[in-house]
Structure 1
């Protein structure tokens, strides 16, 4: 009894000290003291899979991104709101789900739907920040044009180097001379899905974008800034300077299994997205092993090219002495399939498309930490708002990641949401700790027309849809109730905001 009494007294004393001196580490836990940051730098990387050196993919050379991961927190399980460029980026910039932004397609600019919605550039400009955008930030350049104090004119639609631009003109002229139809001429303009030129980094668009960002950092280093830098690679075409292709051997890329998960509804799959529009890609059927390896090689080269541009921007941030007062975020707008299930590109609710890389480095954050908490990209707006000393707008659906930056190992969300539309049907997908559960709901009748359930305990590419198996009926019922409740809560939230 006496021993228990003294143990209780000692524990209470420790807790009292912790309350009086919150910066103390009396309980032996690593609790960094986060500081308010002055600046925000967000790096967008298009179509980037969470397969980098820092994510355990040793075959991908990404030293700059790996270094950033060693300087902050890497999120092992971050999920985009939709696996499509425009709605994903709009969700991030507004902190809202696609159902709330009203945009689920590639062709609708944000400001065409809502001219007053709060966005990150508007939020920071209203707080007196210098706001700047370089490269591919929004999918539509017109979005928030008036909120950017520096909206850099993007380089040539594809390249900055005439040596790489000339073949495009030659292909288009040839297609016109042969009186091909519009689609064939457009495909000729795109050319093949891979390209390898011996040129400097600035011979391609992302190299120019990096230089634009670097020059602006030098000009605004004395002002608080909110800066977004968007790198287009590794988006198709997989085009990068030759030296990045030379980092890899074609034979090192192993063709993935083309087997599709059994019992999966056709709604779940895609028709390959943009890949079919490139020269040399068949309009029907699969790809040969040789073409698959070429595309995988090109994707890896493009990742390493984008990584080098990230490194240049971050090196300049360090050289100017701005790093200790800047929140740096790197994220991918959605995942990408490289032949898994015999599919390519994004445009699904599968784990391969929904999961994205996410790194955050900020003042006071302990370096080299990893979090396996479930997080969403809508969480970025409230995070940078709070960590720069601002109020989180009521419009935000996301939650600030600040608690995870302080303690990466705590629980954060019970699940992460992603959605994708197929005509009149919306697929709502919920990623729990172990499972991915998806319901396809008809817009008119509100009926669930198809269900998917995948076990991700051991793999990112499960081969069986468990939703129809009797032994999983109880699990499906429980997850369905959770998903329905989450959708109802979000619907209530958005109606209150309006």
Structure 2
């Protein structure tokens, strides 16, 4: 087995751990993911460090929290000088490839990846910049309840088109890699946009849940200030949502997860066909979750379990024995993990906020801590989270503190922040928060960033436009059969397995 294994990240968008059958009772039909969970190292308490697509993915890529990179929301640029997992592995001898969604904003659409097989599904400009100074205004690009109101089966969607293209391109790239054999191990990230809303799945996946009881939200509506802001952001006051629509939205979400499972199965089948499976570490993760109506909330943008807790599986049975890890870990831990898995010795160029998961993989021991930051839609000041052991502490200067013991209260129904029994714990947590974060400084940085991006975005949208959206490179003169190619040699090299040299 090579000292530097191939690494394949399979990422799903908005896939919430509490709704997966290997974490809790669930009707979700996910045979491929369930097999990977059974055979691999399953992390029971993995979290998004910032429960919004862009900041979560930048944290994944850079191994740094949003307050360090300035990647506060979905319209923030990850600077080109920020080292990413792809930079580290590329310097370490890996062939780095990205397919699907990564939500990169700005002119650098590669961030260390040598090859990007598809464009992104979302815009690369500053158009989705929030405005903390005008919270009451709801821009048209904010989440709305249309996803719930129109939930149900379909035959085609924008997201199906995108994900099927990403999967096809990834499978083809795996065949290219094994046929070309340039001597380097590969690092491929395939990132799908399902089961992210809108809650629409193909008829075939909808029918898989025919006759299946779809559970309704267990936790009633909450009235804390952040929940109220999120309902405003999503326009929940503008429509009346029926139980039937909630049930359809959840059924379509389960159907979309089954779609993801099918797509991942195709990629894993290709790994087998190419003979690359045994030498490849497969990592399954999400960027954040989805509330799906729990607490009266939808989508993400908060640190409750539905929105912040994600799947995380490391599948490499020939390297790591199957086990379940209860310690708290997060996306920010993946950069140091990949550096160690790849056997790289170079020191990171910038301080990393995560800790390698390799001790967990090797013997089940390791760190037990998640630090979270959120500065996107729905807040008007930084929101932070500390998750350690059974305890979760959520703080923002504008709201009452939240403290939960998830071992006793997994649904986060009982806020213990004002409990006399927890006064010492609360004092220690508040002191830790005061040391970790300067809220006034971060707030000013967020406001300045938003102001600059709105101006630049408006200017770039005026007159002749030069979009940053990634255009996949393709040269048709070098594809398939062309007159400058030796036909027999071409056909022999394209055939796998090779029949002659």
TM band (smaller chain) = 0.7 to 0.9
2:46 is aligned with 1:78: yes
Q: Give runs of aligned pairs for residues 103-182 of structure 1, distance below 5 A.
A: 103-110=71-78, 114-140=79-105, 143-145=108-110, 147-154=112-119
Equivalence for 1:66: 34
2:220 is aligned with 1:259: yes
Q: Give runs of aligned pairs for residues 320-335 of structure 1, distance below 5 A.
A: 320-335=274-289
User: In the alignment, which of 259, 279, 292 is matched to residue 305 of structure 1?
Assistant: 259
Counterpart Cα distance in 2 of 1:259 and 1:191: 18
Counterpart Cα distance in 2 of 1:83 and 1:481: 24
Equivalence for 1:403: 359
Counterpart Cα distance in 2 of 1:462 and 1:203: 34
Counterpart Cα distance in 1 of 2:93 and 2:253: 39
2:479 is aligned with 1:479: no
Equivalence for 1:39: 6
Counterpart Cα distance in 2 of 1:404 and 1:269: 38
- Flag the 1:140–1:242 CA change in 2: closer, same or farther, 3 A: farther
Q: Give runs of aligned pairs for residues 43-442 of structure 1, distance below 5 A.
A: 43-50=10-17, 51-110=19-78, 114-140=79-105, 143-145=108-110, 147-154=112-119, 183=140, 193-198=150-155, 204-221=161-178, 222=181, 223-249=184-210, 252-257=213-218, 259-261=220-222, 265-267=224-226, 270-272=229-231, 276=235, 283-284=237-238, 287-362=241-316, 364-391=318-345, 393-395=348-350, 396-408=352-364, 410-413=365-368, 415-421=369-375, 423-441=379-397
Contact 1:328/1:361, CA 8 A, preserved across alignment = yes
After superposition, the CA RMSD in angstroms is 3.2
User: In the alignment, which of 440, 445, 450 is matched to residue 400 of structure 2?
Assistant: 450
Contact 1:195/1:238, CA 8 A, preserved across alignment = yes
Is 332-341 or 204-213 further displaced after alignment? 204-213
Cα deviation 1:273-325 (Å, max 9, x = unaligned): 8865xxxxx65365211110010001000000011101111111122111222
Report the secondary structure of 1:83's partner residue. Answer: coil
Counterpart Cα distance in 2 of 1:215 and 1:274: 41
Q: CA deviation at 1:189?
A: 11
Is 141-150 or 332-341 further displaced after alignment? 141-150
Contact 2:85/2:338, CA 8 A, preserved across alignment = no
- Flag the 1:46–1:260 CA change in 2: closer, same or farther, 3 A: same
Counterpart Cα distance in 2 of 1:224 and 1:59: 38
User: In the alignment, which of 456, 469, 476 is matched to residue 419 of structure 2?
Assistant: 469
Q: CA deviation at 1:215?
A: 0.1
Counterpart Cα distance in 1 of 2:418 and 2:160: 52
Counterpart Cα distance in 2 of 1:315 and 1:328: 13
Counterpart Cα distance in 2 of 1:305 and 1:220: 26
- Flag the 1:156–1:88 CA change in 2: closer, same or farther, 3 A: closer
- Flag the 1:251–1:285 CA change in 2: closer, same or farther, 3 A: farther
Which residues of structure 1 form unaligned runs of 5+? 1-33, 159-181, 277-281, 443-448, 492-498
- Flag the 1:234–1:141 CA change in 2: closer, same or farther, 3 A: farther
- Flag the 1:272–1:62 CA change in 2: closer, same or farther, 3 A: farther
Report the secondary structure of 2:339's partner residue. Answer: helix
Cα deviation 1:203-241 (Å, max 9, x = unaligned): 632122111100001101324211110110000112322
Which residues of structure 2 form unaligned runs of 5+? 124-138, 442-501
- Flag the 1:194–1:275 CA change in 2: closer, same or farther, 3 A: farther
Contact 1:95/1:397, CA 8 A, preserved across alignment = yes
Counterpart Cα distance in 1 of 2:203 and 2:45: 33
Equivalence for 1:172: none
Equivalence for 1:5: none
Contact 1:218/1:320, CA 8 A, preserved across alignment = yes
Report the secondary structure of 1:317's partner residue. Answer: helix
Q: CA deviation at 1:120?
A: 1.4
Give 1 or 2 for the bigger CA radius of gyration: 1
Contact 1:453/1:466, CA 8 A, preserved across alignment = yes
- Flag the 1:365–1:484 CA change in 2: closer, same or farther, 3 A: farther
Report the secondary structure of 1:430's partner residue. Answer: strand
